Amino acid sequence: MSSRPTLILGSTSRYRRELLERLRLPFITVSPQVDETPLSGEAPAALACRLALAKAQAVAEQHPGAIVIGSDQVADVDGEPIGKPGTHERAVTQLQRMSGRTITFQTAVAVVRGDTQFAQTLLAPVHVRFRTLSDAEIEFYLRTEEPYDCAGSAKCETLGITLLDAIDSDDPTALIGLPLIRTSQLLRAAGLNPLEGAAP
Give the model's pLDDT for residue 1.
39
20 within a domain of the structure (yes/no): yes
Give the model's pLDDT for residue 200.
42
171 within a domain of the structure (yes/no): yes
- Tens digit of each residue's pLDDT (9 = 90 or more) over 60-97: 999 989 999 999 999 999 999 988 899 999 999 999 99
125 within a domain of the structure (yes/no): yes
Of residues 154 and 20, which shows the higher confidence score?
20
73 within a domain of the structure (yes/no): yes
Give the model's pLDDT for residue 93.
96
Write out the residue range of the structural domain in which residue 46 sits: 7-198
**Exactly one of 72, 135, 170, 171 is catalytic; which is it?**
72
- CA–CA dist 129, 175 (Å, integer): 12
- CA–CA dist 175, 128 (Å, integer): 9
Share of the chain above pLDDT 90, in %: 85
**What three-state secondary structure class fits 175?**
helix
| Count of domains forming the chain | 1
- CA–CA dist 198, 200 (Å, integer): 6
Of residues 53 and 151, which shows the higher confidence score?
53
| pTM of the predicted model as reported, rounded to 2 decimal places | 0.90
In the residue annotation, 72 being an active-site residue is answered as yes
CATH number, domain of 146, equals 3.90.950.10
Q: Work out the widest C-alpha separation in the chain, in whole angstroms.
A: 60
- CA–CA dist 29, 72 (Å, integer): 15
Give the model's pLDDT for residue 151.
84
- Tens digit of each residue's pLDDT (9 = 90 or more) over 46-65: 999 999 999 999 999 999 89
**What three-state secondary structure class fits 191?**
coil
Beta strands in the chain (DSSP E): 7-9, 28-29, 67-77, 80-82, 102-113, 118-130, 164-168, 192-193, 197-198
Average pLDDT, the chain: 93
Give buried/exposed letters for 36-57 (b at 16+ CB in 10 A, else e).
eebeeeebbbbbbbbbbbbbbb
Give the model's pLDDT for residue 134.
97
1 within a domain of the structure (yes/no): no
Give the model's pLDDT for residue 2.
55
Q: Which of 124, 80, 132, 135 is nearest to 102 (CA)?
A: 132
Given the DSSP bridges, would you call strands 28-29 and 67-77 parallel, antiparallel or unpaired? unpaired
